[in-house]
Structure 1
């Protein structure tokens, strides 16, 4: 992938993807908290970790398709 040069500071693209995935996870967790309260999700911490990994993969694929 590479880096992004911001005023002489090289920022890895994976770091940007991880931060965006974290913010998306916080938004999605607002919706899934209701399912956790109703006990539809057995292990919420493992579910949230898997959801975070899926969001990183989706953002990575989006970055590749856009050519960033």
Structure 2
């Protein structure tokens, strides 16, 4: 599970997973912004970083689970 060949160009699987996680992060950002405005999240920058890393972990887990 190292790289993906698309029309002769090799892309690392982690790059593909990171792009998918980023798109999911951007889709879910308005929901998170509402919580920030209401004051439920104290440090939004750190929360956004951890939320993105959690999404990346979820996407990676799905790739591993579907690969097997």
- In the superposition, the TM-score normalised over structure 1's length comes to 0.93
Aligned residue in 2 for 1:66: 66
Matched, 1:51 2:51: yes
Hey, which bits of structure 1, 4+ residues long, moved more than 6 A? none
Between the two proteins, the alignment pairs up a number of residues equal to: 68
Which structure 1 residue ranges, 5 or more long, are not aligned? Answer: none
Matched, 1:5 2:5: yes
Q: How big is the shift at 1:39? A: 1.2
Provide the rounded CA distance (Å) in 2 between the counterparts of 1:62 and 1:21: 11
Provide the rounded CA distance (Å) in 2 between the counterparts of 1:25 and 1:60: 14
Which structure 2 residue ranges, 5 or more long, are not aligned? Answer: none
Cα RMSD for the two superposed structures: 1.2
Q: How big is the shift at 1:44? A: 0.5
